């Protein structure tokens, strides 16, 4: 990669770090928001849900705009909207104004990741893209550390308004760097023509939607990302503080565990994805199986789960983040580069649509347990019932992955003559070849 490409990539990483910081501030501030606005769990969940609804709903339109106008302009506009949104949250005297601010944060956030992924696809050679995308995810997730530690410290020491104004100032720094340093693509890039009008843009979107690989990316993102987003964005801190009884400071630090897990596992998944492109869906299925198993252990454990089990759950939840990035690799290898914004927009809708459903249902179930069954709103028993929605989402996503994978592999066989054998057949063949080579 050229020196200019490295600078563009580094700036994109910083922009995504900024975006994740803004996205996750409300999760860290969940308890403070309850105290500031005197809101119920369902109303409080709207702070995160509407943000995610806007984010998810904007993915496809913004993906289409990205293909037409390029990542630099989309990132500048998106970061600017996020800064305004955080200022509104900082100054909000009531829950209604705070929700408006978070809606603006979600709208601005919707432009950043898609734009950075497009930059990666333009500046990196094909086989290096999966690893580069994983590092985008990893560095971006450090934003959770910034929200869980320095932002939380400012919130605790200085209060609501100074904390969210400091977050807005961080976004302004991102705007300045992107404006100064980002270039859409190398001068010698050959990516195909950008759409010249809305008719061409919508036709390009329709072609991306029909691709089985795009659909497989959607369902992979849906099933792997949503538990992590639900936990880190909204319900993790209340669960750790009120459900499990950890001190608030300790719980904030525990929310860093998924980030560290993702940073360790992400590059490994990126290498495996690049080296074994025909087995990417198997990686997704293994992540799903691990998440289902650890959530079952957490919810079925008699009494309060041991600290080691809680940490293991946080680690596996964190792996869902880099696991979800595999969805974008399905889109990349199934669509032409000039249509990648639209395709990635479709993929990104998956995890966030599942997340806002999960967040809202959990809030509603917590309220129901409190109002109709006399349980404390944030008791461990109430959380155990509310978190059952995780299994419903995993089941729906698993069915989607399996069906889309079947169509993707049928298309590969018809168009490229590539037959993908079941994983156990491939492993047996590899073992037989290794034995023959030794013999």
Q: How distant, in Å, are the alpha carbons of 69, 81, 352 from that of 176? A: 19, 14, 28
Nearest CA to 307 out of 229, 243, 246 is that of 246
Using pLDDT thresholds of 50, 70 and 90, give the confidence band for residue 292.
Answer: very high
Between 191-200, 248-257, 278-287, 410-419, the lowest mean confidence (pLDDT) is in: 191-200
Q: Residue 40: phi, psi to the nearest 5? A: -75, 170
pLDDT at 50: 80
Which of 8-12, 31-35, 246-250, 426-430 has the highest average model confidence (pLDDT)?
8-12
**Residues counted in the chain:** 439
Model-level pTM?
0.80
CA atoms of 223 and 112, how far apart (whole Å): 22
DSSP reduced 3-state for 244: coil
Segment 340-366 shows an average pLDDT of 89
CA atoms of 37 and 43, how far apart (whole Å): 10
Q: Which position has the higher pLDDT, 53 or 19? A: 19
Using pLDDT thresholds of 50, 70 and 90, give the confidence band for residue 430.
Answer: low
Domain 3-184+199-438 has CATH 1.20.1250.20: yes
For residue 400, pLDDT over 70 is answered with yes
Between 75-79, 236-240, 427-431, the lowest mean confidence (pLDDT) is in: 427-431
Using pLDDT thresholds of 50, 70 and 90, give the confidence band for residue 227.
Answer: very high
Between 139-143, 262-266, 350-354, the lowest mean confidence (pLDDT) is in: 139-143
CA atoms of 120 and 114, how far apart (whole Å): 10
In the block, tokens 């129901």 appear at 368
48-103, pLDDT tens digit by residue?
778 778 888 898 999 999 998 999 999 999 999 999 999 999 999 888 899 899 89
Nearest CA to 381 out of 391, 395, 369, 367 is that of 369
CA atoms of 85 and 330, how far apart (whole Å): 33
Q: Which position has the higher pLDDT, 258 or 428? A: 258
pLDDT at 426: 63
Sign of the dihedral through C-alpha 133, 274, 353, 37: negative
Those residues whose C-beta lies under 8 Å from the C-beta of residue 383, and which sit 6 or more positions away, are 235, 239, 243, 366
Domains of the chain by residue range: 3-184+199-438
Report residue 65 as tokens.
Answer: 């705009």
Between 71-75, 181-185, 197-201, 299-303, the lowest mean confidence (pLDDT) is in: 197-201
- What rounded mean pLDDT belongs to the chain? 88
Report residue 62 as tokens.
Answer: 């913004």
Burial track 407-437 (b if 16+ CB lie within 10 A, e otherwise): ebbeebeeeeeeebeeeeeeeeeeeeeeeee
pLDDT at 335: 87
In the block, tokens 């929200």 appear at 147
Report residue 35 as tokens.
Answer: 């105290």
375-392, pLDDT tens digit by residue?
666 889 899 999 999 999
Nearest CA to 165 out of 77, 89, 81 is that of 89
């Amino acid at each position: 990669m050229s020196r200019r490409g490295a600078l563009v990539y580094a700036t994109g990483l910083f922009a995504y770090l900024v975006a994740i910081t803004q996205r996750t501030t409300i999760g860290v501030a969940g308890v403070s928001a309850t105290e500031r606005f005197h809101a119920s769990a369902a109303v409080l969940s709207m702070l995160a849900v509407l943000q995610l609804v806007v984010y998810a709903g904007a993915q496809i339109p913004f993906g289409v705009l990205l293909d037409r106008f390029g990542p630099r302009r989309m990132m500048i506009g998106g970061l600017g909207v996020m800064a305004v949104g955080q200022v509104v949250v900082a100054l909000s005297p009531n829950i209604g104004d705070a929700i408006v601010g978070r809606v603006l944060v979600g709208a601005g956030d919707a432009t950043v990741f898609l734009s950075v992924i497009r930059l990666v696809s333009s500046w990196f050679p094909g086989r290096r893209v999966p690893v580069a995308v994983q590092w985008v995810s990893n560095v971006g997730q450090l934003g959770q550390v910034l929200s869980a530690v320095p932002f939380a410290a400012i919130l605790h020491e200085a209060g609501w308004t100074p904390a969210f104004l400091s977050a807005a100032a961080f976004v302004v720094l991102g705007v300045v760097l992107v404006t100064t340093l980002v270039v859409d693509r190398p001068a010698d890039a050959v990516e195909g023509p950008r759409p010249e009008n809305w008719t061409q843009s919508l036709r390009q979107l329709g072609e991306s939607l029909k691709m089985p690989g795009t659909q497989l990316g959607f369902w992979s993102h849906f099933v792997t990302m949503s538990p992590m987003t639900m936990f880190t964005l909204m319900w993790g801190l209340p669960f750790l503080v009120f459900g499990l009884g950890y001190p608030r400071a300790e719980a904030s630090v525990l929310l860093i565990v998924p980030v560290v897990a993702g940073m360790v596992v992400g590059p490994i998944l990126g290498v495996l994805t690049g080296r074994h492109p025909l087995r990417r869906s198997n990686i997704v299925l293994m992540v799903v199986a691990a998440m289902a198993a650890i959530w079952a252990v957490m919810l079925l454990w008699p009494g309060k789960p041991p600290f080691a089990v809680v940490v293991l759950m946080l680690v596996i939840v964190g792996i869902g983040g880099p696991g979800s990035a595999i969805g974008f690799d399905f889109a990349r290898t199934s669509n032409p580069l000039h249509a990648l914004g639209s395709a990635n927009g479709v993929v990104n809708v998956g995890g966030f649509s599942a997340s806002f459903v999960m967040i809202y249902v959990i809030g509603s179930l917590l309220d129901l347990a409190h109002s109709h069954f006399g349980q404390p709103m944030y008791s461990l028993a109430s959380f155990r019932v509310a978190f059952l929605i995780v299994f419903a989402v995993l089941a729906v996503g698993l069915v989607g992955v399996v069906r889309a994978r079947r169509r993707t592999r049928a298309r590969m066989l018809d168009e490229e003559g590539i037959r993908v054998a079941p994983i156990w057949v491939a492993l047996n063949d590899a073992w037989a070849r290794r034995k023959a080579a030794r013999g």
